[in-house]
Amino acid sequence: MANANETSNHTNVETGHPTKATYFAVAMLLVVLTAIEVGIFYIESLGHGIIPILAILSGAKFALVVMFYMHLRYDAKLLTWLFLAGFFLAITVVFALLGLFHFFI
């Protein structure tokens, strides 16, 4: 237990998870990022340049939920690798299928 206390003063000593203040801060960040996403969606002058911006914002929201709400930042690394293996395999499948249909079918 002492180790858990020493690792971070932002964590709950019972489980090694973040405190309520951290959870609220993450929620507010998620709301702000979503509002920015919707806001820039209506800026027509950005054209297709909006796509990488939205992808980055979406990626940030994804990372926040996974790291703080799903506790991967505080849990064992093995769990992170287990999840990321499936996640990156899924991304590979998406791009492989898009490439296959774009170039060969």
Interface contacts to another protein, rule CB under 8 A? 1, 3-4, 7-8, 11-12, 14-17, 19-20, 23-24, 26-27, 30-31, 34, 37-38, 41, 48, 50-51, 54-55, 57-58, 61-62, 65-66, 68-70, 74-76, 78-79, 82-87, 89-91, 93-94, 97-98, 101
Residues 6+ apart with CB under 8 A from 71: 16, 17, 18
At its nearest, how many Å lie between another protein and the CB of residue 90?
3
At its nearest, how many Å lie between another protein and the CB of residue 65?
5
Between 3 and 45, CB nearer to another protein: 3
At its nearest, how many Å lie between another protein and the CB of residue 63?
9
Residue in this structure with the two tokens 């499936």, named with its chain if needed: 86
Structure tokens at 47: 């054209």
Cross-strand partners of 11: 18
Structure tokens at 30: 């998620």
At its nearest, how many Å lie between another protein and the CB of residue 45?
14
65-68 contacts, C-beta under 8 A, 24 or more apart: 65/26, 65/30, 68/18, 68/22, 68/23, 68/26
Query: CA-based angle 11:12:15, to the nearest 5?
Result: 110
Between 45 and 65, CB nearer to another protein: 65
